[in-house]
Amino acid sequence: MTQILHENLIPDPFTEQVTVRNYFDGEWHEPSNGQYLDNYNPSTGKVYSKIPDSSAEDVSRAVAAAKKAFPVWSTTDKETRAKLVHKLADLLEENLEAFAQYETMDQGKTLTMSRNVDIARAVYNFRYFANLLTGQTTEHVGETKYMKMVTDSAGAPIKANALSYTNRTPVGVAGLISPWNLPLYLLTWKIAPCIVAGNTCVCKPSEFTSVTAMMLTRLVKAAGIPDGVINMVFGLGASVGNSIVTHPDVPLISFTGGTVTGKHIARTAAPLFKHISLELGGKNPALVFADSNYDETLTSLVKASFLNQGEICLCPSRIYVEKSIYERFVTDFRQLARKLIRVGNPTEKTSYYGPLVSQIHYDKVQSYVKYALEQGYDVDFCVDRELRPEVSSISETGALTISGCEGGYFMAPTVITGCSQKSRLVQEEIFGPVVVILPFDDEAQAIEYANDTSYGLSATVWSQEQTKLRRVAGQIVAGTVWCNCFLVRNLDMPFGGFKSSGVGTEGGVHSIEFFTKVQTICLG
Ligand code: NAD
């Protein structure tokens, strides 16, 4: 076990306050304005760390460091780059437990999720892209092709035997901006392909979940990744994020976050002709046909709807059920949610999910529940107090008080029925432990409903008829459609959203394509 994290920079978890610092040019820095933001533990609602409230000046310094490092890093041979990235993965794996503890403290997700999903998959992101790069041969280093002979207007050959090939090169300094729901996982999903492809970067993690990103900088240094290749500036989106997006020396932006922010970034970056990828919000339909495997579908959807407090952009949040089984499904769904979904202290093994990430997000999710109650919809908070002694109170909007975690942002698994397809609850992303269930008449209506929102991120389809699965999946306007499964992620596969869920595709070679520019060279 490499003991890096607890030397100086990261104090003892749970006892001392963590102060996050910016990292650029291989050093840790105070924000130039000396200002810090409070960072809250969502399980208690108490401040447990300080985050730099950085400014444009900090961003400029970090970009200058990344720009300085680019010429050497981009021409370092790919085996060396991959070896350093593998070293970073090894260090992260050795320190997985500390990272998982902090991810849970910062985000509110269960320790089980942090260990088995977030940090484990952050390790895998580095390994996967390091391997992908070293495995690449001609396609990205200059494939040669004989050009077809062309003629001038008189029919005489212009040039015979010309040779054309493509040359893929890194783009330069990348701005990598990430959200709070899968903090280290989504940040490393960007850093890994970015740097293995030879770019340098300035990262801006979410202000709600910055701690594990700063911990990563310790490992970056220890792995021997050259100074200036990975830089981090912490703070607010409107200041740090916006300064990265508008900086003239940052030609590429990879952003994951909300659709409203994505629109703003698209508007800002378009006239600057930046290379952008936007992974945005979703309102993911699940289509349950009467011929599905009933028990498996029910269990999968109960677990999927409330995974990570419903704070995964891919979670199903509107479930459409074929009319013939609708009533039974709703009853069983609520009952199973009471049985399976335990809300509690995220460090406890028995908890299925923990608190929502922040007061502001909690207020937003609660406002949707209030709206549903005002509209007279059927709102069921799936908590059985007999089975859940740790729930010391439940409010009329489903807010929970958990013994030992008083002050935390906990909410009941919430199931809403009785609303129409056009309701805000069906159309807007809530991003919490709240699902709506609606009936459909037939396949055509199921597809129509699935496609009737502005989003197009993911969907699930549940049926035992293979031809129906393929037929329906192909008609759903969403970047990923899972049939009889959920969240199976193969990193070789393209990932991206349609409509208001995003622009661009990442994953596998698509990420490498995004993080490089391609040039055609013709030798006459
Ligand atoms: P957000 O848009 O509020 O913030 C995301 C990041 O952008 C943060 O780091 C934030 O500080 C920064 N930011 C905010 N304003 C900015 C600006 N003007 N310029 C530049 N950067 C700015 O999103 P969030 O609340 O952190 O995350 C939740 C959202 O992310 C949900 O909508 C969810 O669906 C989405 N999400 C999408 C995916 C995906 O792969 N499609 C994955 C995870 C989360």
Residue 265 β-bridge partners: none
Distance CA 421, CA 476 (A): 16
The Cβ of residue 46 has, within 10 Å, a number of other Cβ atoms equal to 11
Q: Ligand 1, from 39, 177, 202: best to mutate by most atoms within 8 Å of Cβ?
A: 177
* pLDDT for residue 160: 55
Tokens of 44: 């208690």
Please give the C-alpha separations between residue 429 and each of 185, 255, 363, 424, 434, in angstroms, as whole numbers. Answer: 21, 18, 14, 9, 10
State whether the beta carbon of 188 lies less than 6 angstroms from ligand 1: no
Spatial neighbors of 273 by CB under 8 A, at least 6 apart, are: none
Instruction: From the options 3.30.565.10, 3.40.309.10, 3.30.1360.10, 2.60.120.10, give the CATH code of 284-490.
Output: 3.40.309.10
Per-residue pLDDT of the chain (524 residues; tens, 9 = 90+): 333 444 444 444 445 567 899 999 999 999 999 999 999 999 999 998 899 999 999 999 999 999 999 999 999 999 999 999 999 999 999 999 999 999 999 999 999 999 999 999 999 999 999 999 876 654 444 434 444 555 666 766 555 567 777 888 999 999 999 999 999 999 999 999 999 999 999 999 999 999 999 999 999 999 999 999 999 999 999 999 999 999 999 999 999 999 999 999 999 999 999 999 999 999 999 999 999 999 999 999 999 999 999 999 999 999 999 999 999 999 999 999 999 999 999 999 999 999 999 999 999 999 999 999 999 999 999 999 999 999 999 999 999 999 999 999 999 999 999 999 999 999 999 999 999 999 999 999 999 999 999 999 999 999 999 999 999 999 999 999 999 999 999 999 999 999 999 999 999 999 999 999 988 888 87
Please give the C-alpha separations between residue 104 and each of 16, 112, 146, 524, in angstroms, as whole numbers. Answer: 16, 9, 55, 59
Atom 21, ligand 1: which residue's CA is nearest? Answer: 241
* pLDDT for residue 515: 96
Please give the C-alpha separations between residue 271 and each of 244, 265, 276, 474, 505, in angstroms, as whole numbers. Answer: 15, 11, 12, 35, 21
Spatial neighbors of 264 by CB under 8 A, at least 6 apart, are: none
State whether the beta carbon of 502 lies less than 6 angstroms from ligand 1: yes
CB 243 within 8 A of CB 62: no
State whether the beta carbon of 177 lies less than 6 angstroms from ligand 1: yes
Q: What share of the chain is helix, strand, coil (3-state, %, to 5)?
A: 40, 25, 35
* pLDDT for residue 3: 38
Residue 40 β-bridge partners: 47
> Which conformational region is residue 228 in: left (phi greater than 0), alpha (psi within -120 to 50 degrees), or beta?
left
Distance CA 493, CA 505 (A): 10
CA 288–ligand 1 middle distance (angstroms): 30
Nearest alpha carbon to residue 20 among 244, 182, 240: 240
* pLDDT for residue 18: 79
Residue 167 β-bridge partners: 519
207 CA: nearest ligand 1 atom? 11
Atom 20, ligand 1: which residue's CA is nearest? Answer: 241
* pLDDT for residue 152: 63
Buried b (16+ CB within 10 A) or exposed e, 147-169: eeeeeeeeeeeeeeeeeebbebe
State whether the beta carbon of 180 lies less than 6 angstroms from ligand 1: yes
State whether the beta carbon of 245 lies less than 6 angstroms from ligand 1: yes
State whether the beta carbon of 429 lies less than 6 angstroms from ligand 1: yes
Biggest alpha carbon–alpha carbon distance for the chain:
90
What stretch of H or E contains 56? helix 56-75
Atom 39, ligand 1: which residue's CA is nearest? Answer: 279
Q: Ligand 1, from 261, 272, 279, 453: best to mutate by most atoms within 8 Å of Cβ?
A: 261
Atom 9, ligand 1: which residue's CA is nearest? Answer: 206
CA 14–ligand 1 middle distance (angstroms): 28
261 CA: nearest ligand 1 atom? 2
Nearest alpha carbon to residue 472 among 318, 333, 298, 285: 285
CA 178–ligand 1 middle distance (angstroms): 6
259 CA: nearest ligand 1 atom? 32
State whether the beta carbon of 432 lies less than 6 angstroms from ligand 1: no
Topology given in CATH for the domain delimited by 49-137+171-280+502-517: Aldehyde Dehydrogenase; Chain A, domain 1 (3.40.605)
495 CA: nearest ligand 1 atom? 40
Atom 16, ligand 1: which residue's CA is nearest? Answer: 237
State whether the beta carbon of 506 lies less than 6 angstroms from ligand 1: no
CA 179–ligand 1 middle distance (angstroms): 4
Catalytic residues, by residue number, are: 279
CB 166 within 8 A of CB 99: no
Distance CA 123, CA 184 (A): 10
CA 180–ligand 1 middle distance (angstroms): 7
State whether the beta carbon of 190 lies less than 6 angstroms from ligand 1: no
Atom 42, ligand 1: which residue's CA is nearest? Answer: 313
Residue 518 β-bridge partners: 168
What stretch of H or E contains 514? helix 508-514
**All structural domains of the chain with their residue ranges:** 49-137+171-280+502-517, 284-490
User: What pTM, to 2 d.p., does this model score?
Assistant: 0.94
CA 259–ligand 1 middle distance (angstroms): 8
CA 205–ligand 1 middle distance (angstroms): 9
Fill in the DSSP letter of residue 124: H
Distance CA 257, CA 94 (A): 29
How far out from the chain centre does Cα 88 lie? 20
Q: How far apart are the first and last CA of the chain?
A: 57
Please give the C-alpha separations between residue 332 and each of 298, 374, 496, in angstroms, as whole numbers. Answer: 8, 25, 33
Spatial neighbors of 331 by CB under 8 A, at least 6 apart, are: none
Q: Ligand 1, from 54, 125, 206, 242: best to mutate by most atoms within 8 Å of Cβ?
A: 206
